[in-house]
Chain A
Amino acid sequence: DTGVSQDPRHKITKRGQNVTFRCDPISEHNRLYWYRQTLGQGPEFLTYFQNEAQLEKSRLLSDRFSAERPKGSFSTLEIQRTEQGDSAMYLCASSLEGVAGELFFGEGSRLTVL
């Protein structure tokens, strides 16, 4: 299977702990996106990369959140000092530059902060 994979699928942590999620995009895709989704809402844009460059980051995103894509392949999303309000599904998607916008999503990483 060469789809987008995310790890871990579920994470339960205590408030104040740091968590890191990993996303492996489809191999030839040079664009990678992170979204956050809470129950009953649509995915909320967090940030996106073109190759290893982080080109945009949501202004709503706290500085506790950081994302990297060091070699233009996989990406990590770290949340420091987690809060209960960070509980959500974190979705990763990838796409191919030059192709009209179709995003390929992973199955998401569900975070529960106790």
Chain B
Amino acid sequence: SQQGEEDPQALSIQEGENATMNCSYKTSINNLQWYRQNSGRGLVHLILIRSNEREKHSGRLRVTLDTSKKSSSLLITASRAADTASYFCAPGNTGGFKTIFGAGTRLFVKA
């Protein structure tokens, strides 16, 4: 398994704005997952996108995957104060039983 690198490290926006976070990785993948972590809590799985998918939606979340650029983005639309959290991407490939996390993007949504 490999580690994804999230960008930016930190993001501060107003409630109602959209938030975009990016993830880059180095080698080919079968899927890529995004997780959210509220302060002092465990991680929560948000969405998984497979390597043959280019875009996936879940509620206010939109994930894109560009395997040619080895990158993914997570868009949160109409953000809320409750979206304040750290967000991590996790690239996955066959045989990679362990999931490795980068430092994440810390999102702060101001009410």
- A residues touching B (Cβ–Cβ < 8 Å)? 4, 31, 33, 35, 40-45, 48, 50, 55-56, 89, 91, 93, 100-108, 110
Total residue contacts A-B, CB cutoff 8 A: 61
Number of interface residues of B (CB under 8 A): 25
- Give the docked Cα–Cα distance between A40 and B106 (Å): 9
Given A33-B98, A48-B98, A56-B97, the answer on whether A103 and B45 have CB atoms closer than 8 Å is: yes
- On whether the beta carbons of B33 and A101 are closer than 8 Å, the reply is yes
- The answer to whether the Cβ of B78 comes within 8 Å of any Cβ in the partner chain is no
B30-53: which have CB < 8 Å to A? Answer: 30-31, 33, 35, 40-45, 48, 50
- The answer to whether the Cβ of B25 comes within 8 Å of any Cβ in the partner chain is no
Q: Which of B31, B42, B97, B106 contacts A48 (CB 8 A)?
A: B97
- Give the docked Cα–Cα distance between A89 and B30 (Å): 29
Q: Which of B41, B50, B100 contacts A108 (CB 8 A)?
A: B41
Task: Note all chain A residues with C-beta closer than 8 A to B43.
Answer: 43, 91, 93, 103, 105
The B interface is mostly helix, strand or loop, or mixed, namely strand
- On whether the beta carbons of A100 and B30 are closer than 8 Å, the reply is yes
